[in-house]
């Protein structure tokens, strides 16, 4: 099932999804736009972040279960994604099911992860921030805190998996997928993102409401 008004940003670590979401937050009215992310800021998301920082060791399959549990809350809690989308808000999430398929699939096998995530709705639109792993490494290596996944040899595998997993995921769910050239400058990428979003009926409604005020 497709969840209308729901958009997902995906890409390897360092591909710039978080930066672009922050820019959109400045541009769009808070009354009709929700920017969100996974792992979430809820209790399961916090546990996941601790583990990704290498502070709590967890089995790969445990991580896959926890990401799915965090997502269940993210979608269906009272102030969750589904509720916002149904209230005719545009919801954009920095990472979603494809991250689990790509990252956890590498350790646990594709089948296990696909099964854990099979009941979750598909987004209306998915923007894939494509960036060669060598360029991405130059970005995340400058950060003060690093995740266990932020190593070039691992990110090369992740990059390859995105290239095969995303087309399959989008075809299965009927999600529209647009590739963003993430090698470009922040301003140029922002333009590409805006162009991609502008085809969505909800964005037209938001912009029309903005100009009529
Ligand atoms: P990221 O968006 O990079 O957060 P931050 O920039 O704050 O560290 O996400 C953190 C990591 O979580 C990233 O390396 C990918 C990983 N991840 C998974 O392995 N599976 C998932 O299902 C999700 C949502 C994220």
**Tokens 């096998």 map to which residue?**
109
Pocket of ligand 1 contains residue 104 by CB under 6 Å: yes
Confidence check: pLDDT of 211 > 90: no
What are 155's two structure tokens? Answer: 């990110």
Q: How far is the CA of 211 from the centre of ligand 1 (A)?
A: 36
For the chain, the average pLDDT equals 97
CA 207 to chain centre: 23
Q: How far is the CA of 107 from the centre of ligand 1 (A)?
A: 15
Region 22-41: what's the mean pLDDT?
97
Q: Decide: 93 and 100 in contact? Cβ < 8 Å.
A: no
Protein residue whose Cα sits closest to atom 3 of ligand 1? 13
The answer, as to whether pTM is greater than 0.85, is: yes
Q: How far is the CA of 10 from the centre of ligand 1 (A)?
A: 10
Q: How far is the CA of 159 from the centre of ligand 1 (A)?
A: 14
Confidence check: pLDDT of 18 > 70: yes
Pocket of ligand 1 contains residue 52 by CB under 6 Å: yes
Pocket of ligand 1 contains residue 183 by CB under 6 Å: no
Confidence check: pLDDT of 212 > 80: no
Above pLDDT 70, what percent of the chain? 99
Instruction: Please state whether beta strands 90-94 and 176-181 pair in parallel, antiparallel, or not at all (unpaired).
Output: unpaired
Region 73-77: what's the mean pLDDT?
98
Task: State the pLDDT confidence band at 213, using cuts at 50, 70 and 90.
Answer: low
Pocket of ligand 1 contains residue 38 by CB under 6 Å: yes
Q: How far apart are CA 134 and CA 128, in angstroms?
A: 17
What digits encode the pLDDT tens for the residues 182-205? 999 999 999 999 999 999 999 999
């Amino acid at each position: 099932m497709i969840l209308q008004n729901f958009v997902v940003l995906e890409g390897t670590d360092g591909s710039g999804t978080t930066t672009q979401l922050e820019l959109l937050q400045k541009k769009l009215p808070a009354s009709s736009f929700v920017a969100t992310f996974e792992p979430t800021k809820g209790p399961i998301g916090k546990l996941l972040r601790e583990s990704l920082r290498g502070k709590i060791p967890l089995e790969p399959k445990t991580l896959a279960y926890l990401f799915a549990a965090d997502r269940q809350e993210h979608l269906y809690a009272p102030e969750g994604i589904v509720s916002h989308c149904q209230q005719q808000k545009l919801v954009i999430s920095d990472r979603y099911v494809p991250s689990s398929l790509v990252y956890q699939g590498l350790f646990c096998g594709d089948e296990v992860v696909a099964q854990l995530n099979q009941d979750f709705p598909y987004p209306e639109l998915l923007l894939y921030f494509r960036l060669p792993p060598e360029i991405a490494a130059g970005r995340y290596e400058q950060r003060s805190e690093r995740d266990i996944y932020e190593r070039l040899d691992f990110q090369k595998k992740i990059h390859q998996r995105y290239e095969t997993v995303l087309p399959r995921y989008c075809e299965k769910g009927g999600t529209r997928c647009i590739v963003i050239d993430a090698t470009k400058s922040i301003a140029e990428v922002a333009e590409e993102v805006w162009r991609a979003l502008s085809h969505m009926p909800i964005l037209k409604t938001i912009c029309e409401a903005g100009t009529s005020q």
